[in-house]
Amino acid sequence: MSIAVVAAVGVVAMLAGTLAVAWAMFLSSHDLSVVTKVVAMAAAVSLGSALILGRWVGARSRELALAARSFGEEGDFAAPAVPATAELAELSRELAATSTRLAESRQRERALETSRRELVAWISHDLRTPLAGLRAMSEALEDGVATDPDRYLKQIRTEVERLNDMVGDLFELSRIHAGALALSPSRMSLYDLVGDALAGADPLARAQGVRLVGHRVEPVPVEVDGKEMSRVLGNLLVNAIRRTPPDGTVAVAAERGPEGVVVSVTDGCGGIPEEDLPRVFDTGWRGSHARTPPAGAGLGLAIVRGIVEAHQGRATVHNIPGGCCFEVVLPTAAS
């Protein structure tokens, strides 16, 4: 309707202007009649063409509007199959691209919601078990029926430390998700970071009968938050040690790569199913029961990814013969 009105206004204005000029030029009656007839025929043809084109464009616009309503109904946009103007075709392509982005966003939201549900389930389970044990041991001590009070007290301390670590992981993860992780980067050698992480993980490796190897570690300078990056390396090492069988090997390497500094931790876990690889760094993911450790709630690797991405880096994982390899890529420190 708007297109028809615009066309009609233009044609009428042209007709009125032409007739006014013809009258002002003092043409003869015959010439004035000819000019009037020609202008009237041109106006009629123009109006007819404008109305037909306007109806066609209007129909295409309504079809595009109906297709756009699928955003709120089915969540997907299907462009009309009939031809349209260049402008409507461009708008249709933009709507299709927006629909694709929205579909990807909904998929990420569903995956995040699934991870949250799994996290709540795992946290509930992991909290219930030590709390039940603490309650039983405290009641035994209170009633005086504990045969070895010192052992009970030691076990209570262990469970409390486990709960404290879990709460600390939850707090760290909440800061990462809220974007409130404040970094204090400084220039340091990656060799020192890896050395400290290996020293910290050595007691656990000895207890598990796992060999720690760190032969290919270059003294590459990096600009990182030492405390947070130590947590990244510690989480990766603990994860690798717990999933490597006795007499296995956990190897750490750090060297320059084409995209930055690459720190890798390889283990002997036997590999991760291909369908699970994209979810390894998701919050609450712990894989199959065979790979689930007796402690933790699937937060360690999620924290690793959050800290690494806060450093403008990335964390990845891939399978290798007999195990898997976690890689952290960090930007090289400016010279």
pLDDT for position 332: 81
Task: State yes or no: pLDDT of 273 exceeds 60.
Answer: yes
How confident is the model over 184-206, as a mean pLDDT? Answer: 90
How confident is the model over 87-116, as a mean pLDDT? Answer: 75
For 37-82, write each residue's pLDDT tens digit. Answer: 777 777 777 777 777 777 777 777 777 777 777 665 556 666 666 6
Residue 242 CA to residue 156 CA, distance in Å, equals 22
Q: How confident is the model at residue 335 (pLDDT cuts 50, 70, 90)?
A: low
pLDDT for position 20: 74
For 284-333, write each residue's pLDDT tens digit. Answer: 666 654 344 444 456 888 889 999 999 999 999 999 998 999 999 998 87
Structure-token pair, residue 7: 């066309």
pLDDT for position 197: 92
Phi/psi class of residue 75: alpha, beta or left (left: φ > 0; alpha: ψ in -120 to 50)? left
